[in-house]
Amino acid sequence: MNRITPLILAVALFMEQMDSTVIATALPTIAADLGVGPITLKLALTSYMVALAIFIPASGWMADRYGAKRVFRAAIVVFMLGSLFCAISDSLLTFVAARFLQGMGGAMMTPVGRLVLLRTTKKSELVSAMALLTIPGLLGPITGPPVGGFITTFFSWHWIFLINLPIGLLGLWLSSIYLPEIEPVETARIDWTGFLLSASAASGLVFGLSVMSLPALPVWVGAAATLIGFLSMILYVLHARRHPAPILNLTLFANRSFRASIVGGTLFRIAAGATPFLLPLMLQLGFGMTAFESGMTTFIAAIGAITTKFIARRAFAALGFRNVLIMAGIFGALTTAANALFTPATPILLIMAVLLLGGFCRSFFFTGVNTLGYAEIEDRAASQATSLTSVLQQVSLALGVAAAASILEASTRMSGGELSLGDFHLAFAIVAGLSLFAVVPFFGLPRDVGSAVSGYRRASEDETISVK
């Protein structure tokens, strides 16, 4: 396996992870500087993910039509421009718009990078390749909170977005030299009707659920946007059944492993999207920590995540996708629920230990679902699978942020007071309960599902032979 390819592609994931963790840590400070509340500023989080949901469906088509390497490099440039505009923003409107531009670049970077990996890697080496792809990307959560917290506390939050510029330039240089060329392939005309319907569905759902919890906008605005999103989703399903080449190929759900990875991954990512939003706010608003102290506490989760990458292949080969995903999902939900028990009196070392274990479990789960989803997908359907997977991933993460903020807002309205520690505890308990349902789809899978990728069956056969 060519190890340089996933490491170069991981530059894109690094920038996205760095960016998301930095803004989550600096959210209260940015909100105060822009003259809005921290919950209102979650529009900056959701606008980024709405842009991802809108433009990801076209990523597979563009990669096939114009070449994956060319699209990947152009996406890095767009993301860098968005980062620059974030750094010079001086109002809520300009900041949200800059985040949307970042999302347009991110919509092409990660799914197209994953497509390059799928088309240049053997199935038997996919677990290791996915692990290599994720390792540098997980450096973002490690460096994001402490670096972002340090810069926000001692300098200015504007500088945190400028970090993406040298990283992006490095990615452009390395991809130009080392990234393999994947020639464009003949494609049908883009499904414009499907693109508009899928964009309306994703943006309507994410924006609508988010707006319903915003104190600055009437509830009916959010309800109307959510209703438009649901109607657009229904219309897209009807459209996709008739169109010969829909922009999001729903027939992929007929594959059992792909279907289980999407359903389970979506439910689990709602909690994964809520946690980076809730935890820094709880530590800063509920515990009285500075942004830097909060970042130095939460970064430990990424260390747990990185640890799994060195043992992932052996774990999946020994136990199989089904067993590992069930165990990782259950323990991941329990560690999320443990956040509801944290108080200012809880020892910091105990908090960090729980976060470390949570990062370990979540990383195993995501490595598993990301690989299992492609285990039985044919090469010709790879671009469609990456587009569909990526858009649902981002929508579920956005729904996690929207759900968490909605719970906080509803809890404060019922209590009639200011945002309190109990509101955060309630939010963590609810999202943890929801994420527990993520393991249900995997119980119906055979024990050796995806064995051609994990090597689980071969490991079992080797043990049988040795006994004989």
pLDDT digits (tens, 9 = 90+) for 340-392: 999 999 999 999 999 999 888 888 898 888 888 877 777 667 777 877 887 78
Q: Which residues contact 203 (CB under 8 A, 6 or more apart)?
A: 50, 53, 54, 229
pLDDT of residue 466: 45
Q: Quote the domain boundaries for residue 227.
A: 191-246
Asked whether residue 406 is assigned to any structural domain, the reply reads: yes
pLDDT of residue 463: 47
CA angle 154, 405, 286 (to 5 degrees): 50
pTM: 0.76
pLDDT of residue 456: 75
pLDDT of residue 20: 67
Asked whether residue 296 is assigned to any structural domain, the reply reads: yes
Query: In this structure, what is the dihedral angle of CA atoms 101, 115, 444, 446, given to the nearest 10 degrees?
Result: -160
Residues 73 and 201 in one domain: no
Counting as low any pLDDT under 50, the low residues of the chain are 1, 459-468
pLDDT of residue 327: 94
Q: Helices in 243-378 by DSSP H: which ranges?
A: 256-281, 291-298, 300-309, 312-338, 348-372
Residues 15 and 161 in one domain: yes
Asked whether residue 186 is assigned to any structural domain, the reply reads: no
pLDDT of residue 467: 42
Instruction: State how far the Cα of 139 lies from the Cα of 356, in Å rounded to an integer.
Output: 14
CA angle 443, 53, 331 (to 5 degrees): 30
Final residue before a domain boundary, out of 246, 261, 292: 246
The label of the residue with tokens 């109607």 reads 231
Total domains in the chain come to 2
Residues 59 and 195 in one domain: no
pLDDT of residue 464: 46
Asked whether residue 240 is assigned to any structural domain, the reply reads: yes
CA nearest neighbour of 326 among 310, 313, 315: 315
Residues 241 and 373 in one domain: no
Asked whether residue 182 is assigned to any structural domain, the reply reads: no
Amino acid at 71: V
Residues 406 and 354 in one domain: yes
